[in-house]
Amino acid sequence: MKLSNEIIDILNNFQTINSNIALGEEGGFIRTMSTSKTLMAKANIEPETPYVWPYTFGIYDLGEFLSCLNMFEDPTLSFDDDAKFVTITDGITKFKYYFSEVGILTVPTKDIELECNDITFEITSDQMMQLRKAAGTLRTNTLSVRKSTTGSQFIECTIIDKTNPTSNQFTMNISNCVINTSAEFDFVFDMNNFKFINANSYKFGIDKKLIASVMAGNIKYWVALDKTTTYKE
């Protein structure tokens, strides 16, 4: 079998989240979770994607596995009948890559069942890039999401160092949002968890239980909010 470019892109993104992964789940999904359990992701593989995993198997070092694939221009994968290894080859040279026991890996076993719609908003790839650049400039990874101080139906995405009350701040007003709560909120993210695949836009949904969902392309991410988050009904 051969892996599609779509699957390779997903695996490249997921290895930035966790080197552990289990492949072969039914239903056309690939899942991963950070070792800190503050970020989880689930990719929905299109039904027409030409692949069939023969069984569930674990990979301990996904980055190493991808490096093995990158050694070949057009690799073919042949799976061992005893589910112990996969052979990656171009017909001339080959890698024999052994699997890990899924039970020893840090992998998700179920989805997070929250609607995450207390507030929803969407930002473009350019806006995400601006936020990342601002975080780099101000040397902080904290993103605060609050209702606009103007009182209108805007939210403010602010890059801020919450440990320093006089720190410099960068604020972006987002009009493409829906606020489904009358509470006063300050949802706080650690942008170190923003390990999203490149996409044209990012659709956020935030729940007061300190969980946010983010859709980027065909991948859904769940991000734990920072404990400094406030929500006052």
pLDDT tens readout for residues 29-80: 899 999 999 999 999 876 555 556 888 999 999 999 999 999 999 999 999 9
Query: Does 26 score more than 70 pLDDT?
Result: no
pLDDT tens readout for residues 140-152: 999 999 998 776 6
pLDDT tens readout for residues 79-128: 999 999 999 999 999 999 999 999 999 999 888 888 899 999 999 999 99
Q: What pLDDT was estimated at residue 194?
A: 97
Minimum mean pLDDT range among 11-20, 44-53, 189-198? 44-53
Structural domains of the chain, with CATH: 5-104 (3.70.10.10), 119-232 (3.70.10.10)
Query: Does 162 score more than 80 pLDDT?
Result: yes
DSSP the chain: ----HHHHHHHHHHTTT-S-EEE--TTSEEEEE-TTSSEEEEEE--TTS----SS-EEES-HHHHHHHHHTSSS-EEEE-TTSSEEEEE-SSSEEEEE-B-GGGS----S-------SEEEEEEHHHHHHHHHHHHHHT--EEEEEE-TTSSS-EEEEE--TT-TT---EEEEE-SEEE---SEEEEEEEGGG--PPP-SEEEEEEETTTEEEEEETTEEEEEEPPTT-EEE-
